Amino acid sequence: MKMKRVHIVPLVRQTIELLKELQEVTGSNKYLFPSQRMDVRPMSENTVRVALRSMGYSNDEMTVHGFRGMASTRLNEMGWPPDVIERQLVHVEQNSVRAAYNYTEYLAERRKMMTAWADYLEELAGK
């Protein structure tokens, strides 16, 4: 991660299924999304941005970071606790006193939330 912090990511059924499909494409590569030029490096941070532009989305319509904002907004609308959402998005606690004492990862809640999120996305996709 760019902030050099450990971040535990709960993997739900849908994620594991997608990772298995992805492994059929990338094999046993070190990276899930390797660079197109050199598979010893990760995909460039600009790759998704370029893909969005090639699909016709302008900067005003969608950005890579916009996916995070969209997820945060919808998860809040779905009623998930803000602390759980913020931990999943790896946001740093802004209250310095609270940050000094609260190291909770909310793993059980995050696993439930990510399952609900994956179910929601499947529903949108008509699966």
Q: Is 89 helix (H, G, I), strand (E, B) or coil?
A: coil
Tell whether 29 is covered by a domain: no
Per-residue pLDDT for 1 more than 80?
A: no
pTM for the structure as a whole: 0.80
Q: In terms of pLDDT, which residue wins out, 127 or 49? A: 49
Tokens of 90: 């790896």
3-state DSSP percent of the chain in helix, strand and coil, to 5: 55, 0, 45
Please tell me the total count of domains within the chain: 1
Residue whose token pair is 């939330």: 113
Tell whether 99 is covered by a domain: yes
Tell whether 52 is covered by a domain: no
Tell whether 51 is covered by a domain: no
pLDDT at 97: 63
Tell whether 107 is covered by a domain: yes
Boundaries of domain holding 99: 63-125
Distance set, CA 81 to CA 71, 74, 77, 86, 110 (Å):
13, 12, 10, 9, 10
Tell whether 45 is covered by a domain: no
End-to-end CA distance of the chain: 32
Alpha-carbon gap, residue 66 to 59, rounded angstroms: 10
Per-residue pLDDT for 94 more than 80?
A: no
Indicate the average pLDDT of the chain.
87
pLDDT in tens, 12-28: 999 999 999 999 988 88
Query: In the structure, what pLDDT confidence band is assigned to residue 95 with cuts at 50, 70 and 90?
Result: low
pLDDT at 27: 84
Tell whether 105 is covered by a domain: yes
